[in-house]
Amino acid sequence: MIVVRGAQVYDPAHSVDGEVRDVWVDGAHIIPAPPEDAVAEVIDGRGCILAPAAVEIHTHVAGYSLNAARRFLVGDPARLDLLAPSAESAARRYLSLGYTTVFDAASSPLLARLASNDLQHMAGVDRGTFTQLGDHRLLLHSLAKGDLPAARDTLAWLLQAAGGYAVKLVNPGGGLAWKSGQPAPGLDEPIGLGELTPRKIIATLVQLVNEMGLPHPVHLHAGRLGRPGNAASFCETVRALKGQRAHLCHIQFYSYGQGKTGGYTSAAERVVICLEKYPRITCDVGLVMFGTAIAVTSDTPALLELKKNTGKPCLSLQLEGEGGTNILPLEYRARDATSAVQWATGLELLLRFPDPMRLFLTTDHPNGAPFSAYPQAIEWLMSRPTRQEVLARSHNAGMNFTGLSGIEREYTLGEIFAMTSWGPAKALGLTDRGHLAPGALADLRCYRKQADLKQMFTRPAWVMRRGRIIVRDGEQVALSEGSLLVTRPAWDKARLPRIQSALTELISFPVEDYALGASGQPGAEEVACTSMGC
Amino acid sequence: MKKETRAACPFCNLHCADLRLTFDGGRLVGFSPACSLGEAGYRSATGRLPAARDPGVMRTWLEESRQPMILLSGEVDCETAAAAVRLAKCYSAFLVCDEEQTGLTLGLAMQSAGCLTGTLGDLRGQALVVLCGVCPSHIPPRLDEFIGRDLVKDCLHLDPANPLDTLRRLRLAIRGNSDVLPPQLAPVAARIAAAPSGVLVFDQNWMTAGPLFAAELLLWLEDLNQQRRWYALYLPPAPNSIGVVETLLAETGYPGSLRFNSGGIDFAPRLWQAGRILEQGEADLCLLVGQPRPFSKNTLPALRKIRTILLSPERPAWRPSLWQPAARAGVDASGLVQRLDGTPVNLQALISSRRPAMKDLLSELVGKEVQV
């Protein structure tokens, strides 16, 4: 038994906001305070801040696309290390920042073995991956035919076959349209499969996933990513969800207006007003930070648009039966108008959005910035002067075309912990973590109080996983296994022969070997599908 | 008793996973669909298998070595490549890879020009296939079936005496400057211009000309893609060239040419190539994981001066100090490989043998726990 004594405790799930109290741990779980004569190892928490460990809801650290990114970064060790460390290193760094649960945001069924391999190497953290199905022909054909039972079973089978935790949709139907030579379809434009439109795909799959009770709802990367003026279509996408439970990722990249000369402006306020109306929708922000980044995405139309605009080389692999995976190196510069607007828009979204339980801190690593930049982002959120100072020395578009300069709000510590612990844990359906109620997992982070917030969040005093301290002063001091989290929704197995027969037409090898094949995801921990999504 | 098994083939970079093999008492008696390379590979690999040796000598030699070098071949599976990385870390060894030059050349070309490629299922049905200097012996026997056309008769062969110049001229012609085109290339340019989609297929034959050349090829692809949809397909030299390089990238961030030390990893692509390390006498032990490509006449004498350990399923044509017979993934061991288009394929053990898998041998050699 362990007791952390005298720390200032934050548990936003239970409205505990900096009270000095003791936290008791027995084995892997938080427990209520035992009788006074209980014998326990005491950890002195005086002068420290104690909170549940952080949960990463959207990052790219595993699978083929990361290796493709590494090809672009060979010869530049500093960038390589920052943007595309090995899966093992990424897990270690997340731990050292206080994260004990990490979700990779997109893996393809076809290349599932590569993602699985990387996930196996991410010891120390609980981890999982979202399976990208927004361009899967098998699924889209079922939807085009209006055969919802077939779509539901196909979706469940694909998720299981690929060892995924949740369903990811990336610009649904956009990759398929691109392959057939069409321009990226708008929300209500056909994608080339009868009358099927992105709106129909999104609305139907969100509903199906919620009916199946997956712990995490559809994780949606909408269309028109990164384009000026895209806030209007994004808000239309939000409305297309009809108030259903869903998660919208890296919304900063969809919160743009368009100036008179065609340049980027912030539409953060409009997006926040729109999202506020739908309490069952959660989001992550996808902050852009000044510095180096690399675009890693399945959104082929968006990336080729970016390539056209930046003139930079892009690596694209198109996958049979699915969309593609694409890489393009980036540099966000403070003196560049677009970068300045993007940087300010991300912060503006976070500062305007009232509920930190619904909008979470991410950088869409490595698209907006490396995840190692989180402490810097937290400092900007908690300190207006520090962000104003950056705003003042960046391109004046950041000042003139966004609302950041006029925002007085500074995040409290409680809000920071809400947006990095309980908020994402709840959105992922992992209600066993991210809070400190008795019975919760004893995954904790402890910081020494100091004025330098960036420094404080960069180097926790210690990080505990399942009741054991595994990181001390930023260094890993103990090994920890961590679980590979998957979901296996129920489906009608009698449909398997029909699914496999249809898939045979789309792929160039035997269907028995598709995705993870017979081996499945060894050692995975299944998170139950419940009625939470309904 | 006859037994039919479904299998994925380890003998070329297509890794056809639709094979039906029939064994009778461990002897291959049936093979379909037809593939001369695969059938010969299985017949040879399932013949008389040599017994394993005690790996104790290998450990002793590694421990005695002042500076070991591990040379990784493109024929081993991904887990073996990952185990080789762990071993190199453990013994502060050089880690070089037969495939790294191609990987680097292609990587540098991609960095400067980008690349659009697709998996084989997506390449089927493209209007035109252009074989760019491809050596016919590098075309996997069943690639026709995947691409959906007869690659010998039904595609454009481009193999000029001066390929770099030809590529440049063709590229300019596609941009609309046909004045630069010699008359003999005009029909080629016209055929390419008329095709709404296509695939440029190339192999190491042209890659060896260096990154500028590779970049030119990819720039050509880029120009073709301004209006239409063209893909590139690289035919790597060894069965798992792609998987080995991808594994090294995933494990270390680099495609090879590495030296591990207590401070981390050093990467020096020009400096740390197998031939140079051996000829300069920088390594006193060479552990060859899988059959390496033939050594040059300068390298072979240098190799003979030091201890050499070869882990390989087959008896080598040259004589290493120690040959440790090892199981082959897809025959008597399992293993993950990557097809030439990057698609991962799981190879299963079809027969049992007393030969250890290379990944197990290497893991055993690590001996001590890698520190966190």
pLDDT, one tens digit per residue, over B41-86 is 999 888 776 766 777 899 999 999 999 999 999 999 999 999 999 9
| Average of per-residue pLDDT across B196-219 | 83
Amino acid at A129: T
pLDDT at A37: 81
The answer to whether the Cβ–Cβ distance between B118 and A506 falls below 8 Å is no
pLDDT at B28: 87
**Chain B: residue nearest A516 by CA?**
B346
pLDDT at A533: 44
Residue A25 and residue A467 in contact, taking contact as beta carbons nearer than 8 Å: yes
Beta strands per DSSP E along chain B:
2-7, 19-24, 27-32, 68-72, 94-97, 115-118, 128-132, 156-158, 197-203, 229-235, 258-261, 264-267, 285-289, 307-312, 322-325, 335-338, 344-347
What burial letters (b/e) apply to A469-483, b meaning 16+ CB within 10 Å?
bbbeeeebeeebebb
Is the pLDDT at A424 greater than 50? The verdict is yes
Helices (H), A353-407: 374-382, 384-393, 396-400
Residue B145, classified by CB atoms within 10 Å of its CB into exposed (0-12), middle (13-18) or buried (19+), is: middle
**Chain B: residue nearest A475 by CA?**
B372
pLDDT at B54: 76
Secondary structure class of A374 (helix, strand, coil) = helix
**Phi/psi at B277 (5° precision):** -60, -45
Confidence band for A80, pLDDT divided at 50, 70 and 90: very high
pLDDT at B216: 85
Is the pLDDT at B19 greater than 60? The verdict is yes
Q: Which of B117, B253, B346 is nearest residue A70 as measured by Cβ atoms? A: B253
Distance CA A2, CA B240 (A): 50
Collect all residues of chain B within an 8 Å Cβ-Cβ radius of residue A111.
Answer: 342-344
Is the pLDDT at B371 greater than 80? The verdict is no
Secondary structure class of A104 (helix, strand, coil) = strand
Confidence band for A359, pLDDT divided at 50, 70 and 90: very high
Is the pLDDT at B370 greater than 60? The verdict is no
pLDDT at B24: 86
**Chain B: residue nearest A72 by CA?**
B111
Residue A220 and residue A169 in contact, taking contact as beta carbons nearer than 8 Å: yes
Computed over its alpha carbons, how large is the radius of gyration of chain A? 22
Q: Please state the pTM of the whole predicted model.
A: 0.95
Collect all residues of chain B within an 8 Å Cβ-Cβ radius of residue A85.
Answer: 253
Name the average pLDDT for chain B: 89
pLDDT at A81: 93
In DSSP notation, A271-316 reads HHHHHHT-TTEEEE-----SEEEEEEES-HHHHHHHHHHH----EE
Collect all residues of chain B within an 8 Å Cβ-Cβ radius of residue A510.
Answer: 6, 17-18
| Average of per-residue pLDDT across A350-378 | 98
Confidence band for B136, pLDDT divided at 50, 70 and 90: confident
Tokens 């992105």 correspond to A198
Q: Is the ipTM of this complex over 0.95?
A: no
Which range scores top for mean pLDDT: A148-162, B189-203, B346-360?
Answer: A148-162
Alpha-carbon distances of A499 from A161, A208, A502, B16, B62, rounded to whole Å: 12, 17, 5, 22, 52
Collect all residues of chain B within an 8 Å Cβ-Cβ radius of residue A314.
Answer: 114
Residue A466 and residue A479 in contact, taking contact as beta carbons nearer than 8 Å: no
Strand partners, A337: none
Mutate to test the interface with B, among A64, A65, A71, A470 (most CBs of B within 10 A): A71
| Average of per-residue pLDDT across A240-258 | 97
| Average of per-residue pLDDT across A428-443 | 98
**Chain A: residue nearest B230 by CA?**
A179
pLDDT at A534: 37
Alpha-carbon gap: B249 to the closest alpha carbon of chain A (Å): 6
Name the average pLDDT for chain A: 96
Residue A258 and residue A228 in contact, taking contact as beta carbons nearer than 8 Å: yes
The answer to whether the Cβ–Cβ distance between B121 and A519 falls below 8 Å is no
Mutate to test the interface with A, among B89, B115, B220 (most CBs of A within 10 A): B115
